[in-house]
Each structure stands twice: as structure tokens, then as C-alpha cells.
Amino acid sequence: MPYEPWQPGMKITANRLASISPTWQDWTPVWTTSTGNNTPSFGNATIIARYAQSATTVFWRLDIQFGSSTSFGGGGASDNWRFSMPVSGGVISQICGHGEASDASVASTMGRLVLRARVTTATTFEFEVSSGQPNGTAISSSGVIDAVSPWTWATSDALRAAGQYEVAA
């Protein structure tokens, strides 16, 4: 339900309250790449994708644990992974969240990286690496998240993030 700013004389109705009261719901993200090539697919990944909209603000969270039939795409050439937003209309280049990438093959927290989510089109966001590893090891993938960056992804690796962004009024 689209948001409409309050105007003089407006009455409180169930629809009006629903438009400004966030209610969490599921969304199914579409996983693509920045070039449209080397397209990955979720396969049997476990995906929890939820969002709520209050007025022109969308709150979201995404938790993906990759499965044995996940295809990570071709990778390389800075072909960053993209995920569809639950509600389109984000301000392009806006930071819209933070999270982590987890490499299940590395013990403890050493296989984790801090991620930044950024709106890259009116309907998608991308993750970018915004840290090195907890042990101080630098990441040489120029911030790209794809099939081989910042590591070669495998079963049980995960992406987890949450955030918010503004949509058009």
C-alpha cells in the first residue's frame, strides 16, 4: 500500500494506519550479477528474506546459507552479485545496510568479513566487502562479492545482512 502524507482533514482509517504501520513479510530475492552474465542460482540454499515498510522507509533482513546445489555463477571481471530489493525505488548509490559474509571452511570468526549493502539500481542492491578478515588479513578482491571473491564460495557459506532504505513518496 503506497504511503500518502497526512493532509488536513484526513481521518484515521484501518487502511491509513496500515500504510504507516510496518508489518513484516517475506520476500523472495532474485539473485543476478552486475553485468547480467555468470548468473548464479540459489538451488537448495536456505533463505530467510523479510521486510517491513513504514511510510517511505523499508526495513529489510536477509540470511542466506548456501546449499549443496547452489550455483555461484562464473565470477571474475568484477561481476558483483546483485539481489532484488523487496520494494523498488531506492535512491541509487545509497548505503542500505550492513552484514557479514561467512566462510564455513575457516574455523572460528576468521572466516567472516564485514559487508556493506548499497543500492545500485532502482530495484537492486549489491554487497561490497568493507573490511579485512578479523586476523588483519587484507582482502584483495576490490570489494567485489562473486563466485570467487572474496573467496571461492561453497556449501554452508553464508551472507547475512539487514538495513533500511528510502523509497519514492
Residues 15-69 have pLDDT tens digits of: 777 766 788 999 999 999 988 888 999 999 999 999 998 888 999 999 999 999 9
Per-residue pLDDT tens digits for 114-145: 899 999 999 999 998 866 665 556 665 567 78
Q: Quote the CA–CA distance of 85 and 128 in Å, as a whole number.
A: 16
Cis-peptide into 5, omega within 30 deg: no
Q: What is the pLDDT of residue 134?
A: 57
Q: Quote the CA–CA distance of 87 and 80 in Å, as a whole number.
A: 21
At residue 109 the predicted structure's pLDDT band, cuts being 50, 70 and 90, is: low
Q: Decide if 87 contacts 53 (C-beta within 8 A).
A: yes
Q: What is the pLDDT of residue 74?
A: 77
At residue 76 the predicted structure's pLDDT band, cuts being 50, 70 and 90, is: low
Range of the domain at 36: 24-166
Q: Is residue 19 part of a domain?
A: no
Q: Where are the alpha helices (DSSP H) in 85-156?
A: none
Q: Decide if 126 contacts 82 (C-beta within 8 A).
A: yes
Q: Is residue 155 part of a domain?
A: yes
Instruction: Look at residues 159, 154, 139, 164 and name the one whose alpha carbon lies nearest to residue 82.
Output: 159
Q: Quote the CA–CA distance of 45 and 78 in Å, as a whole number.
A: 23
pTM score above 0.75: yes
Q: Is residue 5 part of a domain?
A: no
At residue 107 the predicted structure's pLDDT band, cuts being 50, 70 and 90, is: low
Q: Is residue 91 part of a domain?
A: yes
**In the chain, pLDDT over 90 holds for what percent of residues?**
46
Q: Is residue 1 part of a domain?
A: no
At residue 82 the predicted structure's pLDDT band, cuts being 50, 70 and 90, is: very high
Residue with cell 561467512: 102
Within its chain, how far is the Cα of 168 from the centroid?
A: 19
Q: What is the pLDDT of residue 161?
A: 97
Q: Is residue 149 part of a domain?
A: yes
Please tell me the total count of domains within the chain.
1
Q: Decide if 139 contacts 113 (C-beta within 8 A).
A: yes
Q: Is residue 130 part of a domain?
A: yes
168 conformational bin, left if phi > 0, alpha if psi -120 to 50, beta if neither: beta
Residue with cell 547480467: 36
Q: Is the pLDDT confidence value at 1 over 60? A: no
Q: What is the pLDDT of residue 150?
A: 83
Instruction: Look at residues 156, 93, 102 and name the one whose alpha carbon lies nearest to residue 115.
Output: 102
Q: What is the pLDDT of residue 108?
A: 63
Q: Is residue 123 part of a domain?
A: yes
